[in-house]
Amino acid sequence: HDLSELLDHPSPALSVTAARALVMIDPGAAVSLVIPMIIRRRDWSASRVAMMIKEAAPLFSDAFLLQVQHDVHNKRPQVPRLVEAVHPNRHLPFLRRLLTTTRNPELIAACLRLIRDPADLDLARDRVRDRHQSVQVQVAMTLGRFGTRQDEPALLLLLRSREWWVRYRAAQALL
């Protein structure tokens, strides 16, 4: 009870620490208490929240993924970098919908980073001409993971970018 009261504490460090303790003590009860706070508390450190989710029992992390999927379905997407901490090698079917509906470059880049199914490669190919550096970097990395010879022209295009990181990732993908 004392820990759940601390979830609303104005100090982000104290409240996120209380959330982590709740998740570790009783993941089942923490689902209904902590997941809504993760969504609401934008002042919580993303890295601390991601670590909490990563360390949590599958019951909690799976409930978090279900909430993210629900939010994507209802056009209220979560920050995907938190999702990445849960199951970095797990196929997340809601990514396709999110990538086809959002225009937020940070969200697009995070979603591209989460692609784990070669069948979703078209989602990266569709973003080759995106003007945002973070998106271009993730396109190059995704094409490097799953791309085929047909992706060489796209990677050669990315090699001409003004941004060093885009060129670097495109060159790595070609290798």
Question: For the segment 70-124, what is each residue's pLDDT rounded down to a tens digit?
Answer: 887 777 766 666 777 676 677 787 888 888 888 889 888 988 988 888 889 999 9
Of the candidates 35, 30, 63, 59, the one whose C-alpha atom is nearest the C-alpha of residue 49 is: 35
- Tell me the one-letter amino acid at 26: D
As a whole number of angstroms, the distance between CA 108 and CA 127 comes to 9
Report residue 129: phi and psi, to 5°.
-95, 10
pTM given for the model:
0.74
Model confidence pLDDT, tens digit, residues 4-22: 999 999 999 999 999 999 9
